[in-house]
Amino acid sequence: RKEVEQDPGPFNVPEGATVAFNCTYSNSASQSFFWYRQDCRKEPKLLMSVYSSGNEDGRFTAQLNRASQYISLLIRDSKLSDSATYLCVVNKVTGGGNKLTFGTGTQLKVEL
C-alpha cells in the first residue's frame, strides 16, 4: 500500500463549480499534513497546511479525518487559474527528521 494515495484525475469542472479531492495516508502516527499545488512544468508550492480542526483559506477548505486517515481539499467557486495538480503531503514518521511523503497528485482542469 502506498504511504499517500490520491485519485490522479483529471477532474474537469466548469468555472464556478465546487470540487473536492480526497487523499488517504497509511501511517496513523503521521502528525503533519499539507496540500501543495504544482502548475504544469513548475515546482510544487505550499497551498495550505491541514489542521485537525479543519481550516479555511479563502475559497479553499482543508479537512483531516484521523480516524479514517484521510485528508480532503475543497475548492469553491473554481477559477481557471485553479487548474493545476494538487499534491497531498504527509510527514514521514520513520527514519527520523522532518521528511515529507508526497502523493502522486490530483489533476484539476477548470474550463469555461
Partner 1 sequence: DVKVTQSSRYLVKRTGEKVFLECVQDMDHENMFWYRQDPGLGLRLIYFSYDVKMKEKGDIPEGYSVSREKKERFSLILESASTNQTSMYLCASSAPRVFRQFFGPGTRLTVL
Residues that bind partner 1 (CB under 8 A): 8, 32, 34, 42-46, 49, 87, 91, 95, 97-100, 102-105
Q: From the CB of 80, what's the least distance to partner 1, in Å?
A: 23
For residue 108, the minimal CB distance to partner 1 (Å) is 16
In this structure, what DSSP letter does residue 112 have? -
- For residues 44 and 70, which CB has a smaller minimum distance to partner 1 in the complex? 44
CB of 90 to partner 1, least distance (A): 9
Give strand pairing partners of 55: 62
Among residues 1, 6, 3, the alpha carbon closest in space to that of 88 is found at 6
Question: Based on CB atoms, which residue is closest to partner 1, 42 or 66?
Answer: 42
Rounded to 5 degrees, φ, ψ at 80 are -55, -35
Q: Name the grid cell of 82.
A: 485553479
End-to-end alpha-carbon separation of the chain, Å?
37
Task: Dig out the grid coordinates for 58 from the structure.
Answer: 479563502
Q: How far is the CB of 31 from partner 1 (least distance, A)?
A: 9
User: Cell 488517504 appears where?
Assistant: 24
Closer residue to partner 1 in complex, CB, 78/108: 108
Choice between 4 and 19, CB closer to partner 1 = 4
